[in-house]
């Protein structure tokens, strides 16, 4: 995707947002005949979802809009389903199903969810895995924006993202999410070109800081089923309890956690950290590295997992990166993977 196209898209979002703000600023006429000042319209992802919803025709709504608790036989509660490669609805974003304006708004939602520092890397992942944003990707809207609870879910190969405006109770990111990248289907040990590999390098640097006893406890023989991200609650997770780490080891793990969440907008980062804090913070978690599927047999562990009572960040790096994330402030929240 060219830089000019990205600038054009951002210009559209900026101009549309400015127009909305100007409209809001006019406000209504008060009792003394003066225009009452109204706060400018927000340019958050949620506000863009609301504007997108208003542009949808009845026929479009029939195909991509659902009740908040809509269920399907195979997927259960559709709003909370997550997978590594799926389309939540049939129309792809780049299909003629959507107008140019609607595609721009969907792109704006995506760019609002992802932290600006990560836009280029995410677009690289999308180019490698799907030929660019909007190809092989679809959206669905649950509930009614501007009226009550709602959530937009964006899906495709190596992506499940959510925008919920805090409508979904107890969970961060609006529910379980997924990210991945495959510059090559079977990557080498250095994972050249993988935009998410630095996360694994940081986790492995924590492993290198562990002493022999800690490494033995942290190293687990078999990687669990990657989509198994239901919460354990008080049942201990495999691996090394973070509470058994030294202060400098925990400090480096905290930095690694920062690398994991930094991809997302600040409000989602804060919500994820608050959920983790509610369940005891990092000290209530365990860190596992899995010795099977070690690409290159270099003991740089491609598969690893950070897990707490209601926190799962499962990183599968072999044969390429798949990452499953589920974070809540209550271990009773059920996953629909």
Alpha-carbon gap, residue 80 to 169, rounded angstroms:
12
- CA distance readout (Å), 12 to 15, 115, 133, 298: 5, 19, 16, 48
Q: Per-residue DSSP letters for 161-201?
A: EEE-TT-STTBSTTS-EEEEE-SSSS--TT-TT-TTHHHHH
Query: φ and ψ at 182, to 5 degrees?
Result: -140, 75
Q: At residue 17, does pLDDT exceed 50?
A: no
Number of C-alpha atoms within 13 angstroms, CB side, residue 43? 16
Alpha-carbon gap, residue 64 to 152, rounded angstroms:
10
Q: At residue 16, does pLDDT exceed 80?
A: no
CB-based burial, 133-153: b 16+ in 10 Å, e otherwise = bbbbbbbbbbbebeeebbbbb
| pLDDT (0 to 100) of residue 42 | 47
- Burial of 3 from C-beta contacts in 10 A (0-12 / 13-18 / 19+): exposed
Query: φ and ψ at 179, to 5 degrees?
Result: -145, 155
What percent of the chain lies above the pLDDT cut of 70? 87
What percent of the chain lies above the pLDDT cut of 90? 81
pLDDT in tens, 263-285: 999 999 999 999 999 999 999 99
pLDDT in tens, 212-226: 999 999 999 999 989
pLDDT in tens, 170-211: 999 999 999 999 999 999 999 999 999 999 999 999 999 999
**Which pLDDT band, with edges at 50, 70 and 90, does 34 fall under?**
very low
- CA distance readout (Å), 161 to 50, 153, 238: 17, 6, 28
Q: Rounded to two decimals, what is the model's pTM?
A: 0.87
**Which pLDDT band, with edges at 50, 70 and 90, does 165 fall under?**
confident
Mean pLDDT of 113-132: 97
Q: Among the listed ranges 17-21, 77-81, 263-267, 327-331, which one has the minimum average pLDDT value?
A: 17-21
pLDDT in tens, 275-311: 999 999 999 999 999 999 999 999 999 999 999 999 9
| pLDDT (0 to 100) of residue 73 | 84
CB-based burial, 203-225: b 16+ in 10 Å, e otherwise = bbebbebbeeebeebbbbeebbe
- Torsion, Cα of 178, 181, 187, 192 (10° steps): -130
Q: At residue 14, does pLDDT exceed 70?
A: no
Number of residues assigned to the chain: 337
Average pLDDT over the chain, rounded to an integer:
89
Mean pLDDT of 24-52: 54
Q: At residue 158, does pLDDT exceed 50?
A: yes
| pLDDT (0 to 100) of residue 7 | 42
**Which pLDDT band, with edges at 50, 70 and 90, does 33 fall under?**
very low
**Which pLDDT band, with edges at 50, 70 and 90, does 108 fall under?**
very high
Alpha-carbon gap, residue 316 to 318, rounded angstroms:
6
Mean pLDDT of 113-125: 98
Per-residue 3-state assignment (H helix, E strand, C coil) for 286-316:
EEEEECCCCHHHCCCCCEEEEEECCEEEEEE
158 vs 236, higher pLDDT: 158
| pLDDT (0 to 100) of residue 143 | 96
Q: At residue 6, does pLDDT exceed 50?
A: no
| Residues in CB range of 124: below 8 A, 6 or more apart | 195
For the chain, domain boundaries: 3-168, 197-327
């Amino acid at each position: 995707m060219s830089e000019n196209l990205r600038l054009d898209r951002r210009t559209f979002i900026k101009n549309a947002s400015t127009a909305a703000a100007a409209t809001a600023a006019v406000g209504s006429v008060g009792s003394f005949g003066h225009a009452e000042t109204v706060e400018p319209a927000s340019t958050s992802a949620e506000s863009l979802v609301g504007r997108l919803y208003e542009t949808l025709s009845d026929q479009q709504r029939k195909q991509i809009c659902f009740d908040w608790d809509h269920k399907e036989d195979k997927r259960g509660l559709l709003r909370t389903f997550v997978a590594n490669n799926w389309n939540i609805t049939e129309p792809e974003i780049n299909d003629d199903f959507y107008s140019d304006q609607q595609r721009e708004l969907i792109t704006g939602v995506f760019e609002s969810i992802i932290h600006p520092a990560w836009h280029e890397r995410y677009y690289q992942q999308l180019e490698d895995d799907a030929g660019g944003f909007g190809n092989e990707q679809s959206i669905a809207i649950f509930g009614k924006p501007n009226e009550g609870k709602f959530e937009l879910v964006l899906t495709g190969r190596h992506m499940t993202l959510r925008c919920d405006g805090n409508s979904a109770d107890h969970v961060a990111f609006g529910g379980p999410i997924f990210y991945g990248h495959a510059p090559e289907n079977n990557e080498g040990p250095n994972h050249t070109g993988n935009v998410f590999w630095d996360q694994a390098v940081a986790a492995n640097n924590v492993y290198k800081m562990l002493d022999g006893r800690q490494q033995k406890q942290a190293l687990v023989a078999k990687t669990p089923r990657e989509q198994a991200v239901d919460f354990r609650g008080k049942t201990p997770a495999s691996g090394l309890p973070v509470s058994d780490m030294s202060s400098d080891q925990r400090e480096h793990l905290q930095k690694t956690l920062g690398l994991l969440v930094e991809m997302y907008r600040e409000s989602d980062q804060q919500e994820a950290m608050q959920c983790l804090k509610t369940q005891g913070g990092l000290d209530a978690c365990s860190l596992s590295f899995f010795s099977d599927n070690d690409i290159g047999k270099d003991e740089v562990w491609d598969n690893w997992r950070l897990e707490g009572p209601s926190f799962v960040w499962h990183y599968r790096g072999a044969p390429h990166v798949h990452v499953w994330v589920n974070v809540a402030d209550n271990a009773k929240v059920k996953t629909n993977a």
